[in-house]
A = this chain, B = another copy of it.
Amino acid sequence: MSEKYIYDLSEGDASMKPLLGGKGAGVAEMTRLGVPVPDGFTVTTQACIETMNNNGEWPEGLRGQIADALTRFEQRAGRVLGASTKPLLVSVRSGAVVSMPGMMDTILNLGISDESVDAIAAESGNERFAWDCYRRFIQMYGEVVEGLSSHVYEDALTAMKRAKGAESDTDLSAADLKELTAEFKRISNEELGGNWTNDPREQLFRAVEAVFRSWQNPRAQVYRKANHIPDDLGTAVNVMQMVFGNRGDTSGTGVCFTRNPSTGEKALYGEFLTNAQGEDVVAGIRTPRPLSELRDVLPEAYDQLIKTMRTMETHYRDMQDMEFTIENGKLYMLQTRNGKRTAAAALKVAADLVDEGLIDKEEAVRRIEPEQLDQLLHPAIDPNHSAAPVVTGLPASPGAGVGAAVFDADTAAEKGAAGEPVILIRFETTPDDIHGVLQSQGVLTAHGGMTSHAAVVARGFGKPCVAGATTIKINPDAKTVTIGDVVIHEGDQITVNGSTGEVFNGPLALIPPRLGEDFQKVVGWADEIRDLGVEANADNGPDAAKARELGAEGIGLCRTEHMFFGEHRLPAMHEMILATNDEERRSALDKILPMQQADFEAIFTEMKGLPVTVRLLDPPLHEFMPDLVTQALTVQELELTGADPGELAAERTTLAQVKKLHEQNPMLGTRGCRLGMLYPQIPDMQARAVVRAALAVFEREGETVQLQIMIPLVHLQQELKTQREIVVAAVDDELAKAGKQLDYKVGTMIELPRAALCADQIAQYADFFSFGTNDLTQTTLGISRDDAENGFLGWYESSGVVKRDPFATVDVDGVGQLVRMGVEKGRSVNPSLSTGVCGEHGGDPDSIAFFQTIGLDYVSCSPYRVPIARFAAAKAKLAQQDSAS
């Protein structure tokens, strides 16, 4: 017997989401709860997966099961697909496990045919409606299922309008549309080389097949990649009886949220259109009306809807995003799902649901997607401006963005990826624009409402969006938008405020974001749960201040090399590099010391009372010198153009030095503690600058930091032993001279495979380990980050050879194994060893989940990732508890 691939609605429930998809499980659950839902059945994700794995061949039995399910469905409905009396019309929709709005295909009105069209006309009492449905169905089916171009149909439509002297579609009569339908069928069959089918049953099979296929379409792949949705989940297919919101003024369709998905406020939020199909609302073709107005239009349906919204929210204990259709005054719910929301809304909803007693604090923390908080940390427009908006649209996704105007998604994607801030301006967005939205600073559309595609996608990605700015005139060919009498060309700077809907000509200044009360409340719960410490990477006072404000419990990585750059410092650094003996080197370092000390004082002042981990000089010395190619060209140019001999000689000397310092593979070169081994004066100077700064801050502030000095790039026990001795000698000497006491720790980065493999040797001289998983990834995988992302690694990612960028999310199998080994071996000889991770993985939720499982003490990430890391650490703890229980 073959697998069960079909579930009638009455057979499913919410728990079956992996098998039935979000939509299928949602409607089944609503059915179970007595909410009015159109009848139908669901083809499982398993059927899709097996089809994918079998090169598009359906699994045995699927076709028969669909036929049987349809027969049962027809019996329940008392209607027959494509019949000339009481015909059944169905929608065929995708339904993935994780919502991917608009990414996959949908076919409506399947079942309309030459046989059934008259019956539909009769039932609806509207012949024109029936033929309009029919011709629309053929176009939709032809495009979506058979892959025909929309031009084929649009040309025929245009020709028909011209022939009939019609200005718009609505000028065409029922007879015209009947003629058009025949023409559409003729063209379709011609395009398909005679392979067109008019049989609704065969159309249903092909439609299911098309939905399966649409799981693999490019925009769905991009969306999954951006949202880290696995490629092998597959989609379910929902076959449901059609209900019509376009049967006149007592019909309608809409989308509603049980709370405001932008702010989280518990207030009515939704839109509807009367006499419209569902696609009209979502696609933003017509600008819909606020849900509150439905009360006046269709009060009965309105009341039922409000009641259903409350029921479903309480049932799911979360904000719901629902689709509904009203057919001749009767409400049908088509879908319910946990609503996508902004980070601000997510925090408010979670906090409110706790207040309302629907969920507990742990559950509130579980509800927060840490990665999404990033959008809260985006800047807003500085209120001290006098610019007047050139237009105000709908505030569809909060936050502010400044960038160059671009008018198509490809350009937005390209420029955005290259680092140029852009604002994507579209009449309306479609799923094909996703890659452009992702790379934009903001989106502006002329059409569509708060629940339009652009709005939903922008909110999901935390991009500011102003939608439905209906008065703007976009000319995509000329690449201009006209707003009033202002013409903005591609490349001109504009500013959008997605929190207010305002659009400004030119760039406005932005100010950093503030985290609100809801954030503070919920992150407080997260802090109670987590046991991973969260520190920040910061190299200067302002960054340190920001880190502390965002909740960092210390500085896990203070890089010191940036302190060697700068106009006044580089000359001393050059002197140090060019020194031919220890004395010259020491003298150059003596000039650098007070500058370093001042930098440390600024940081320590901000961080007093907390630990600060200072990493000694790390990069190879040639980074402080001119580039080899540039310098070689400079010398040759002076030679060939007959330059001043003095200048030439100086440039040649520099070239010789650059050549001497040049390395084939600087990543694997003379850097980190290797510099400190060759030039012990450097760690000596840095240790002195650190301790002098710590003492000065204590003197001034009455408190100072918990000092941790970190030796980079150790791979041998002897390196750490020697460097530790140098540091301890310098610090103790400074303390003795000052007559002061100060606790401090000396530890190391574990950033080479050997350091992790031999952590038991190295830990004998370390008070702490900080795993530098960026460099550890480079060496463990043999991938130079500088080269790979535009090289083979980018291709590996896009072609699925690797699932995740190993520099964004830690490679658990390889690098993770080394980190685990490092922790275990280190603690085996030094039980008081403190362990953490610094670098980008420290702010990545999935990586944090792994670090929790191996028992690291803390993570350190960039200041703006700190709030994300606090939640991620809490969720990691909860996940660990769950898997233990």
Contact = CB atoms under 8 A, between A and B. Distances in A.
Interface of A (DSSP majority class): helix
A715 B754 contact: no
Interface string A759-797: 001000000000000010011111110111001100110
A814 B758 contact: yes
A637 interface: yes
A713 B784 CA distance: 14
Given A753-B814, A779-B782, A787 B632 contact: no
Interface stretch (A162-170, A194-202, A398-406, A663-671): A663-671
A783 to B, nearest CB: 6
A697 to B, nearest CB: 35
A674 interface: yes
A718 interface: yes
A715 B106 CA distance: 41
A834 to B, nearest CB: 23
A216 interface: no
A783 B668 contact: yes
Given A636-B633, A640-B641, A665 B722 contact: no
Nearest to A811: B754
A52 interface: no
Given A667-B664, A677-B801, A802-B716, A780 B753 contact: yes
Contacts of A757: 780, 813-814, 817-818
Contact of A795 (B629, B678, B754, B781): B678
Contacts of A815: 754
A687 interface: no
Interface string A595-630: 000000000000000000000000000000000110
A801 B718 contact: yes
> How many copies altogether?
2
Interface in A803-829: 811, 813-815, 817-818
A662 to B, nearest CB: 9
A791 B753 contact: no
A719 interface: yes
A752 interface: yes
Contacts of A664: 666-667, 784, 786-787
A715 B791 CA distance: 16
A669 B788 contact: yes
A759 to B, nearest CB: 11
A753 to B, nearest CB: 4
A826 to B, nearest CB: 15
Contact of A628 (B629, B715, B788): B629
Contacts of A792: 670, 674, 677-678
Contacts of A795: 677-678
A669 B779 CA distance: 11
Contacts of A668: 665, 667-668, 778-779, 782-784, 787-788
Contacts of A677: 792, 795-796, 801
- Which of A636, A640, A779: most chain B Cβ within 10 A? A779
Contacts of A628: 629
- Which of A632, A782, A784, A795: most chain B Cβ within 10 A? A782
A432 to B, nearest CB: 26
A223 B641 CA distance: 53
Interface of A: 628-629, 632-633, 636-637, 640-641, 663-670, 674, 677-678, 713, 715-716, 718-719, 722, 751-754, 757-758, 761, 775, 778-784, 786-788, 791-792, 795-796, 801-802, 811, 813-815, 817-818
Name the 3 nearest CB pairs between A and B, nearest first: A754-B814, A665-B784, A668-B784
7 contacts: A669-B787, A670-B792, A677-B801, A754-B782, A757-B814, A757-B818, A775-B782
